[in-house]
Amino acid sequence: MFKNSIKKVASLAMAAGLTFAASMGAAQSTYPEKPITMVIPLGAGGSHDLNARVITSIIPTYLDQAMIVRLTPGAGGQKGTQEVANAAADGYTLLFTHNYIDMLQQHVESLPYNPMEDFVPVARINFAPIAVIVRSDSPYQTFEELVAASKADPGGIQMAHSGNWGALFVPAAQMMKALDISWNMVPFQGGGPALQALLGGDADVTMAFPSAIAGQLQAGNVRVLATAGAERIYDDVPTFAEVGVEGDVGFMHRVVLAPAGTPDDVIETLGAAFKSLEEDRTFTRMMSRLGENVDIIDSAAYQAMRDEQDVAYKELVKTLTSQ
C-alpha cells in the first residue's frame, strides 16, 4: 500500500518537473523577463532609500517588469556593493549608490572589489550640492567671518558631520585644507542628527543638502553661508569657488551601477528606461517634493565623470591623510 502511494507521488513529481522544464525550453530571451533587484548599500529610510522607492514605483511602466529594492547595509556600503559585484552580470541585479561610496572609498580602505573594473554605470539619477549652515543666532554672518573665527581659534569650532568620509565630511575636509583652518569634527549618525545637533546647540556649524533645510530656512532658524556648485543657489549666498574653495567639492551624485560584463543591449534598455523617467510627470513631481532634482546622465557620460572622480579623490585622500 505504501509502495503504491510512493510510486504515485514520485510519478506526479516527475511529471510536474518535466512539464516545467519543457515550458521553459520554449522561452524567448527578451530582457527583462523577471523582476529586477536594485540593491541599496545603505540603511532604510535614508534619502537614498526614498529616492529608490520613488524610482522603483514608477519605472515598471517603462520596463514591463517590477523593480524590487533590497537593502543591504553594512561596512559603510561595502556589503551591498560587494554583493552586486559578485552577482551575475545579466542585468537583474543593480546597485544604487553614490559617488563617495563608489569612487572615494577605495582610496580610504582596502576593498574586496575594484569599483572601476567591477562595475559599469547605467545612469546617474540626480545630484545634490551641499551647503554650509549655521544657526541664525550664531555670530557668523558671512562665510568670511566663520573662516576668520576658525583661524583665531583652531579646533575650537564644532563641525557636525554625518560620518567619516561621508557626504558632509569630505567637503569639510577639503575646505579645511583649502583655507588652512581647523574645525573640531564631531561625528553623527547621518545628516539628520547632525542638523539636530546644530539646532540644539551641540555644534556650531554643519553642512546639509538644500532639500533638508528648506523648512528651517523658511522658519528663519538657520543661515546658509556658502553653497557648492558653479552658480548661486540662493541669491545672496556665495558659492564655494567665490570664497576660495575651488574644484569639484560638495556634490553627491546618485547613480545606478551594474556588474561589469553586463551585455550592452541590456544596459541600453535600462538606460533608456531611466532616461524616460525624466519625462514622467509623476516622477518629477515626486522628486521635487523630496527636494531632489532630476538630471539623468547616461552610461558613457557618467563613466567619464567616474574617471575624473577617481583621479580627484585619490589626490584628495593623499593630501588629507598625509602629513
Partner 1 sequence: MKKFTFRPTPEIVVLVVLLVVSLLGLLFIDALVAPPKLLFGRSLTAVAPSLFPSIIFVGLALLCAVLLVLLNLQGGHEHEASLTPHEWRRGVVFFGTMTLYALTMEPFGFLISTALAVALLTWQMGNQSWIQTVLLAFGGPILLYLAATRLLAVSLPELNVIELAYARLLGG
Partner 2 sequence: MLDQFAEGFGMALRFDTFLMMSLGLFGGMLVGALPGFTTLMAMAILLPISFFLDPIVGIPFLLGIYKGGIFGGSIPAILISMPGTGAAVATSRDGYKLTQQGKSRKALDMALFASVFGDTSSDIFTILMIFPIAFLVMQFGPPELFAVLLLSLVIIAATSGSNPMKSLVMMMLGLWLSFIGTDPLGGVERFTFGLFDLKSGIPLLPMLIGVFAIPEIASVVMRNERAKQLAALMGERLSRAEFRRCVRTICRSTVIGTAIGIVPGLGQVVAAMMGYSAAKNASDHPETFGEGELEGVAAAEAANNAVNGPTMVPLLTLGIPGDNVTAILLGAFVAQGLRPGPQLFSDQGATVFAILVAMVFANLLFLVIGYLSIPFFSRLVTIKVSILIPIVIMFAFAGAYVFRSDSVDLLMLVVFGLFGIIARIAKFDVMPMVMGFILGPPMEYAFGQTVAMTNGDAFGFFLGERWGALGILLAIPVIGFLLWRRMRAVAAG
Query: Does 173 sit near partner 1 (CB under 8 A)?
Result: yes
The whole-angstrom separation of Cα 23 and Cα 47 is 42
Site size toward partner 1 (CB under 8 A) is: 26
Long-range contacts of 225-231 (CB under 8 A, 24+ apart): 225/131, 225/132, 225/133, 225/134, 225/140, 225/142, 225/143, 225/146, 226/131, 226/132, 226/143, 227/129, 227/130, 227/131, 227/132, 228/129, 228/130, 228/131, 228/171, 229/129
Residue 3 CB, nearest approach to partner 1 (Å): 11
The whole-angstrom separation of Cα 260 and Cα 187 is 34
- What does the per-residue mask of binding to partner 1 show for 231-270, with x meaning CB under 8 A? ----------------------------------------
167 binds, among partner 1, partner 2, none (CB under 5 to 8 A by kind): none
The whole-angstrom separation of Cα 317 and Cα 108 is 7
Query: Does 11 sit near partner 1 (CB under 8 A)?
Result: no
Under DSSP, the state recorded for 162 is S
1 binds, among partner 2, partner 1, none (CB under 5 to 8 A by kind): none
Neighbours of 313 (CB within 10 A): 22
The whole-angstrom separation of Cα 120 and Cα 109 is 21
Nearer to partner 2, 12 or 214 (CB): 214
Q: Of the listed pieces 97-105, 181-189, 190-198, 268-276, which binds partner 1 according to CB under 8 A?
A: 181-189
- What does the per-residue mask of binding to partner 1 show for 73-112, with x meaning CB under 8 A? -----------------------------------x----
Nearer to partner 2, 25 or 220 (CB): 220
Query: Does 320 sit near partner 1 (CB under 8 A)?
Result: yes
Chain residues binding partner 1 by CB under 8 A are 2, 5-6, 9, 20-21, 23-24, 27, 33-34, 37, 66, 68-70, 108, 164, 173, 176, 182, 185, 187, 320-321, 323
